[in-house]
């Protein structure tokens, strides 16, 4: 019989955010192989217009969140971590859905995995286990 351990929800969330980041990374890396993509990047353009310091800062800020959520899931108190995971899980799901449509098949594939991961993050955070309530003064 194989021994299996029960992982705390914080470790599960850490693993899910980590997997999400790998899917983001590989989706963006594979995008570099699309014909014309590097030329587009070198010309200073992307899907949302010209590349500027502000647009790259905004993108960096957006991508920093899932990078940091694994840490936040482990280090923050349960109540804070729960709400951060629900909020940012929803934001990441919406952003991914908005950016994946009309993309190449590999990106749609990674997008589907991303969506499943973030929906599971939201579910785990929403159903975060609670301490059993201790009866007091004759409460049942």
Q: Domain ranges for the chain, please list them.
A: 9-126
Asked whether the beta carbons of 73 and 81 are under 8 A apart, the reply is yes
CB within 8 Å of 100: residues ≥ 6 apart: 107, 108, 111, 112, 114
- Residue 136's pLDDT is 67
- Residue 54's pLDDT is 93
Give pTM, 2 decimals. Answer: 0.87
Average pLDDT per 10 consecutive residues for the chain, totaling 140 residues: 92 97 94 90 85 92 94 96 97 92 90 97 96 67
Torsion-angle region of 3 (φ positive above 0: left; ψ -120 to 50: alpha; else: beta): beta
């Amino acid at each position: 019989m194989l021994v299996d351990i029960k992982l705390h929800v914080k470790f599960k969330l850490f693993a899910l955010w980590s997997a999400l980041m790998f899917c983001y990374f590989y989706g963006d890396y594979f995008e570099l192989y699309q014909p014309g993509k590097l030329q587009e990047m070198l010309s200073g353009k992307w899907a949302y217009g010209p590349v500027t310091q502000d647009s790259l800062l905004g993108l960096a800020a957006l991508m920093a969140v899932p990078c940091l959520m694994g840490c936040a899931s482990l280090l923050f108190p349960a109540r804070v971590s729960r709400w951060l995971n629900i909020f940012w899980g929803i934001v990441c799901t919406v952003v991914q859905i908005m950016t994946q449509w009309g993309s190449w098949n590999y990106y749609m594939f990674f997008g589907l995995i991303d969506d499943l991961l973030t929906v599971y993050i939201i579910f785990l955070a929403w159903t975060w286990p609670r301490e059993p309530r201790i009866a007091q003064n004759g409460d049942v």
